[in-house]
Structure 1
């Protein structure tokens, strides 16, 4: 018999009145309202891209009784307005989530970035991760967000993995525990539920569960000593939520289900032996389990949607992340409940876990007394001086000099006045992509420091006279801002043309300095570069900090992990 939730125990710790609200609410629900509480809808500022309908926000809540909301984009004022609208129009208060893994910039377009997992690891100072969690929670709370889908507790084992390259806090369990716990400690200063991800663990392979079934190939013993250790730590320390990835764990699944065939292996979102047996029973997780986004191929390729929508709840997940077509998915879930795919016991247990977290945050009481609706004055915390000071501190501690084998530093306007600036971005127009403003920020900052900057346009193989190039150029500054999401299984530097002129052919002609503003393993495509810096982000403090450190005005304090070499001996030369 599956282990059922105890709302009086961790992570809920509810009192009698809170438990009573949960039980009374469930008892009063229709089948339709019960099913609705299992869904988190994704709202856009504009057309709802995933539900495929033209309903108003109020119609979505009235017809489908959604239990949770997430949103994409928006300024702080827009997001707060949306959340206030949703909470005002909801019968049962909503669990409203954001993806803040690096600071408040995950909650709104004008939120404050502090540090990614990779930057926190490089800084080697838990206060950086703590500040990222602190700022995330404060800026989320001002907007009305009550749940954070982070931190990412994945372990970066495989240097080719760009899915969690910047989001992972380390390459071993102990580092991940140290920095993610610091992040959570910072977030605990706000009234926000914490959701760690992506169970049973990403980072061992190079493929992306957005595009294909993810597979964690560790043995049972290897998993217990790594990901299992991380999850057990956070469960023991009261984490409220875990997000199940569309990731399989074949060795463990075959141990828990003797005779299980490869053809029957499913991701954690659909595998009861992972979602229920391993997580809720063996690791004793008493909180709420939510699926990762249901439009990802790791789930959609498993079976027909009509089967996996209710199948995720039947397997042990308590909430389903995002609709495809809202009326259709809602019908699939309702049909699965009425046909017994989701048993009455499983439905009630899921509802208790969902409503229990709402009760823990006393959302029902806040709705009754009006404090669930946020005041625009609360937005003053977004981008405040305290948070910007933390961003600057994180930049100073995290920026990492990976190599300087020709001893070409420091950069200075006397020796390197005429700089040729090269810029390479990732995909264009994606959900996450390089920022065209980055080049201008570098040009402005360099010019203010006394340099003359010319930007090299890509797309050509013509180099021209080498001697003329050296006469006109004192140094080359190569900037990589390769960012992407869900369009490739991994992201590498892609040149604008075959053997194009931005490729660092010039490293032995003029002093050359290369900076990555996102991924940490670009040396596998830039082994010829002799001075390489990992800087993790393109905010103004990072850009100014990079130049300060290249100029010797500030020391490099970040420390790279061994994966930066991408297993290439020539990368170290």
Structure 2
């Protein structure tokens, strides 16, 4: 059994008054309120499409006593208004989380993107990493969020993995530590707590835990040398929370509990030997553990929901991420306490860990003094000049020329006046967006302003037409890959709009062809024939403008690719 939480030790370091508030608050909670503190609810703007929720935000707080809030969508003013309502309605102040892995854009629609993990790695700059955390923290604070479910501290070892392709900060433990520690330090300037993810580590395989149990196949020795070093670094740096992934670590589980059969191997969210044994005892983590989203198949395929809801807490998680059905999940958790699946000691310890984070932020003092809620004036930092300057710097440093083997650059309106654009998209209207016309329209406008004549290819047909006619009509081809997707496939690759679509790069020897990816970094796997390839990481305006400047030779390419961009294909380098 792991040691119980020590609220006077890191990462809490509470004084006597803060500890007293935790203990007094815990003593005053009913069983229902103790159960509620374990839950994180996802609030929506408008109808709750996931659960058919019939309650208002205030009614959810009053009826289910949730300890942590998340939300989906919304502009900064909308989110701030919602979060103020939630704090006003809650007896115990709320931890309010956002997913800011690359800037304030993870907290609101109008937040400022700085750099993803992949773009940060390409810059080679710890200052960019710090800026991404700094802007995340400032813009989160402006809306009233206080807990970041980022950075992602996974190690991208498998090039086929698109789950953390853009979110991972490197392919080695050293690089992940090098960039994620400054990220955390940057957001701490605004008093934001950190939850690192996805313990015990994603990036070694290609599958998505939204759809299947993830498995990290590393040996205990190699895990200690890689992911273990990353977690040790963040624990030493005072990280407050760890998000457990629905990822199994079978060889370590069986080392810690040799009696486990293969059939008994569980994802970390349900594995006491990993949570209580490895993380909290062996690595000495004294903070709070939260599950990854509980609708993911890596968890739901393990056993009945009625069983795994309380078992996650019994195994060592301290908070449960998202309801499926409010009444049903609450009843499952409460029954788990009443039946002894969750002991009173384990329930109290989990509550202390969550309340301790609230005490660390002095949320109770802010609530009492009337300073907990945010104001419209706080929103002035969102998209401010300082943040936009940091965004432009990250774009300049990060955009990466991976290959230019025919020396076809620079693009220019004299030699390449007539540009044919091929827009490759992933899921249109998916959870994470992508594939809409915004980026395409921006390219068309900027190219036109710079003296080019732009046409857009219709990729829904196979018809290519005569090649000589194509060369007479087109001076350069520009392939814009905006392949963004989430949770509908185990990994994402280029999917042409139809079989043998005319957007496939058949034209690379007919006209100079330039391919730019504004998301995933490994598209050369599907386009090895392309001779000029650029990774631009994100479809925001700063990255688009910087990409065009670099294509035209107005600015140098400064980003550095990692070896995974070649996808183990020798022909990708030709």
**What corresponds to 1:436 in structure 2?**
437
Matches within 5 A, 1:121-140: 121-140=121-140
| 2:151 aligned with 1:114 | no
Q: Which moved more, 1:71-80 or 1:435-444?
A: 435-444
**What corresponds to 2:198 in structure 1?**
198
SS across alignment from 1:483: coil
SS across alignment from 1:496: coil
**What corresponds to 1:78 in structure 2?**
78
SS across alignment from 2:328: helix
**What corresponds to 2:476 in structure 1?**
475
SS across alignment from 1:207: coil
Matches within 5 A, 1:235-254: 235-254=235-254
Following the alignment from structure 1 to structure 2, what is the Cα–Cα distance between the partners of residues 432 and 148?
18
Following the alignment from structure 2 to structure 1, what is the Cα–Cα distance between the partners of residues 480 and 487?
23
CA deviation map 1:224-266 (0-9, x unaligned): 0000000000001100000000000001000000121110000
Following the alignment from structure 2 to structure 1, what is the Cα–Cα distance between the partners of residues 386 and 105?
15
Give 1:360 deviation, angstroms: 0.1
| 2:388 aligned with 1:394 | no
Does the CA-based 8 Å contact 1:102-1:115 persist in structure 2? yes
| 2:151 aligned with 1:151 | yes
**What corresponds to 2:516 in structure 1?**
515
**What corresponds to 2:557 in structure 1?**
556
| 2:373 aligned with 1:366 | no
SS across alignment from 2:420: strand
**What corresponds to 1:309 in structure 2?**
309
Matches within 5 A, 1:284-363: 284-363=284-363
SS across alignment from 2:549: helix
The TM-score with structure 1 as length reference comes to 0.99
Does the CA-based 8 Å contact 1:42-1:48 persist in structure 2? no
Matches within 5 A, 1:141-290: 141-290=141-290
SS across alignment from 1:454: strand
Does the CA-based 8 Å contact 1:50-1:323 persist in structure 2? no
- Count of paired positions: 573
CA deviation map 1:308-348 (0-9, x unaligned): 00000000000000000000000000000111100011001
Following the alignment from structure 1 to structure 2, what is the Cα–Cα distance between the partners of residues 180 and 459?
42
SS across alignment from 2:269: coil
Give 1:53 deviation, angstroms: 2.0
CA deviation map 1:428-483 (0-9, x unaligned): 22111313211100000101111010011111110111111101111000000000
Does the CA-based 8 Å contact 1:52-1:324 persist in structure 2? no
Give 1:2 deviation, angstroms: 2.4
| 2:476 aligned with 1:453 | no
**What corresponds to 1:498 in structure 2?**
499
Matches within 5 A, 1:39-50: 39-50=39-50
Does the CA-based 8 Å contact 1:246-1:292 persist in structure 2? yes
Following the alignment from structure 1 to structure 2, what is the Cα–Cα distance between the partners of residues 2 and 287?
12
Following the alignment from structure 2 to structure 1, what is the Cα–Cα distance between the partners of residues 177 and 109?
29
The TM-score with structure 2 as length reference comes to 0.99
Give 1:96 deviation, angstroms: 0.2
| 2:92 aligned with 1:96 | no
SS across alignment from 2:421: strand
Following the alignment from structure 1 to structure 2, what is the Cα–Cα distance between the partners of residues 31 and 20?
20
Following the alignment from structure 1 to structure 2, what is the Cα–Cα distance between the partners of residues 245 and 361?
26
Give 1:299 deviation, angstroms: 0.4
Following the alignment from structure 2 to structure 1, what is the Cα–Cα distance between the partners of residues 383 and 255?
49
Following the alignment from structure 2 to structure 1, what is the Cα–Cα distance between the partners of residues 437 and 66?
38
Does the CA-based 8 Å contact 1:548-1:554 persist in structure 2? yes
Give 1:512 deviation, angstroms: 0.3
SS across alignment from 1:269: helix
CA deviation map 1:46-102 (0-9, x unaligned): 122344321111111111100010001000000000000000011000110000001
Following the alignment from structure 1 to structure 2, what is the Cα–Cα distance between the partners of residues 547 and 60?
48
SS across alignment from 1:242: strand
Does the CA-based 8 Å contact 1:52-1:326 persist in structure 2? no
Question: Which consecutive residues of structure 2, in runs of 5 or more, have no partner in the other structure?
Answer: none
**What corresponds to 1:416 in structure 2?**
416
**What corresponds to 1:532 in structure 2?**
533
CA deviation map 1:361-407 (0-9, x unaligned): 00001111111111111001000010000000000000000000000
SS across alignment from 1:478: strand
Question: Which consecutive residues of structure 1, in runs of 5 or more, have no partner in the other structure?
Answer: none
SS across alignment from 2:268: coil
SS across alignment from 1:49: coil
